[in-house]
Amino acid sequence: MALSHLGLDWRIGATNPSVELYFSSALSDLIATGPGPRGGRPIRQIGPHLFVCGKTAVIVRYAQPREIEFIRQRRFDRVYYVLDDLLLGVEGDQSLPPGYRQRLAAFATARLPRILELATTIVVPNAAVAAGLPERQVEVLQPSGISICEDFSHFENPAWKPINLLLSGSRSHAADIEMIAPAVAKAVRKNPRIRVTSFLGDHAPKILRGLPDARHRPQLPWLQFRRVLQHVRFHIACAPYRDTPFNGARSFSKILDHGAFGAAGLYSNREPHSQYIDHARTGLLLRDDEQDWTDAILSLADKLSHAADFAKSGSRLARKLGDRRRVRRYWTERLGITASG
């Protein structure tokens, strides 16, 4: 069947972070896009979330109905589906924003069963996601990093410059950030050099919107946020996670983000971060206690040399965890590609 008959979208690009983190970033030199010649590249990107190599197809996180139909009308020997969040049962997680929860629930109801029907192997970031897929062939793959900081000159910070603190996460983390908002506000009141940045826009907690010099940028499309990862630096970054099934099934992507930003990482002391962070070496693991978060922020702000040490060790951890070669080896083995790098 001609691709044009299916109306597939050839406006290819890593518009979804999952596509890049779990697949295309590690394999970019092997992927051909568009309907033209492949130029010797063995993988063809068919749509925003769909890749084909010989008799194997790979779907990453979402899929348009046309992408699902493309697979259905061809006889693939293997279909891999990358599912990097706990989508089943998400409608009951009141910590997620209503609109986001409804979109995930709609996808899980309307399209996910059709994808699972076609998939021969489900690729997940951890056992928590795998547990929701009983009696399925499941393999674990963690995401790759995009850019890891190597220059920490931003810690050479004169007394008159601000100490930049990032509240890590998009709107799906709004309730998590709400949890530590009073602690952050208290820290800023005690040390006015601390300048807070989030990507929550008008959805940032009210107590944080009133802070002096706070920057609450709107949530950015992935391509823009990727540029921010590559070029913007912070001194401290906070990744609070409420104790919810959805958070417990997340990947270690916040460790990768903090490594890209060159920031000392503060994390809730629970999965997934408690599995990877070596407390007081590669970051700080904190309880759900306002004073703990305030004290940790103030301690790092008061001693930027200590924050720099955490940032450097955290970036080394991010580089190790997010090694693209690991993701590349995983896919080249399963796609039957002989490739260097």
Task: Kindly report, residue by residue over 104-154, the tens digit of the pLDDT.
Answer: 999 999 999 999 999 999 999 999 999 988 889 999 999 999 899 999 999
**Interval 2-11 mean pLDDT:** 39
341 pLDDT tier (thresholds 50, 70, 90): low
- From-to residues of CATH 3.40.50.2000 in the chain: 153-321
User: What percentage of the chain has pLDDT greater than the value 70?
Assistant: 95
Q: What is the pLDDT of residue 134?
A: 83
Using one digit for the tens of pLDDT, what is the confidence trace for 267-306?
A: 999 999 999 999 999 999 999 999 999 999 999 999 999 9
315 pLDDT tier (thresholds 50, 70, 90): very high
* Higher-scoring residue by pLDDT: 296, 97: 296
Tokens representing residue 242 in the block? 């409420």
Using one digit for the tens of pLDDT, what is the confidence trace for 241-275?
A: 999 999 999 999 999 999 999 999 999 999 999 99
The whole-model pTM stands at 0.93
Using one digit for the tens of pLDDT, what is the confidence trace for 228-244?
A: 999 999 999 999 999 99
Per-residue CA distances from 36 to 3, 39, 43, 44, 45 (Å): 12, 9, 13, 10, 11
Using one digit for the tens of pLDDT, what is the confidence trace for 182-195?
A: 999 999 999 999 99
**Interval 294-322 mean pLDDT:** 98
Q: What is the CATH number of domain 153-321?
A: 3.40.50.2000
